[in-house]
Amino acid sequence: MKRYRIPLLLLILNIIFGVLYPIFGISTLNIMKMNLSEMLSVMPPIFIILGLLDVWVERSTLVKFMGEGSGVKGSVLAFVMGSVAAGPLYAAFPIAAMLIKKGAKFQNVCLFLGVWSTTKIPMLLFESANLGLRYTTIRFVCNIIGISIVAALMEITTSKEDKMELIEHVNQLESE
């Protein structure tokens, strides 16, 4: 119950809002229903992929390609994984948790999340068709530079204790 206190509070507030303002209440419930159905259509395939990655990809392999000593190849792999992804950003967080659990470098996880949110290939294709190749290229380059800087800063400024706490939290989530 403690874990779901915020969603439950929001549901209660939504019910109260719906009683006080029925038209808006129905509208918010329809939006909730639409968001829930979208999430339920996206998350099962993500969890299947996570399960397969968890079984098929050994920790030592992931550490080799995305861990502390991976260098540029780890960043390139994080970039490729984020770019070829499909789905909303909330689908990336379980994958990021799996990467953390398997020993990926914190910077590569941050890079993966940043790339997922801004440089997915389908989005780039849509953008270039509608806004032009020049705009898309400039935005893409600026995003890659910005994401790389932010990921590096996150790596530098996050203490080892905070990283260990994050790893413990990810492992704790898995055991629940």
pLDDT in tens, 130-168: 999 999 999 999 999 999 999 999 999 999 999 999 999
Q: Are 99 and 62 in contact (CB under 8 A)?
A: yes
Q: Give every CB contact of residue 125 below 8 A, 6+ residues apart in sequence.
A: none
Looking at the fold, whether 24 and 70 belong to one and the same domain comes out as no
pTM of the model: 0.79
Residue 47 placed within a domain: no
Question: What is the pLDDT, as a whole number, of residue 157?
Answer: 96
Query: 């939006």: which residue's tokens?
Result: 31
- The 10s digit of each residue's pLDDT in 26-63 is 888 889 889 888 888 888 888 888 888 888 888 888 88
Residue type, 134: R
Which band of pLDDT confidence, cut at 50, 70 and 90, is reported for residue 176? low
Residue 76 placed within a domain: yes
Q: What is the mean pLDDT of residues 63-85?
A: 91
Question: What is the pLDDT, as a whole number, of residue 171?
Answer: 86
Q: Are 150 and 111 in contact (CB under 8 A)?
A: no
Looking at the fold, whether 167 and 124 belong to one and the same domain comes out as yes
Radius of gyration of the chain, Cα coordinates, nearest whole angstrom: 19
85 pLDDT above the threshold of 90: no
Distance CA 108, CA 156 (A): 12
3 pLDDT above the threshold of 90: no
Looking at the fold, whether 88 and 156 belong to one and the same domain comes out as yes
Query: 């509070």: which residue's tokens?
Result: 9
Residue 52 placed within a domain: no
Distances (CA, A) of 64 to 49, 67, 79: 20, 6, 16
**Could you tell me the residue range of the domain that residue 38 belongs to?**
1-42
Residue 119 placed within a domain: yes
Residue 89 tokens read as 């950003």
DSSP state of 90: G
Question: What is the pLDDT, as a whole number, of residue 175?
Answer: 66
Q: Comparing 172 with 74, which gets the higher pLDDT? A: 74
Which band of pLDDT confidence, cut at 50, 70 and 90, is reported for residue 128? very high
Number of domains in the chain: 2
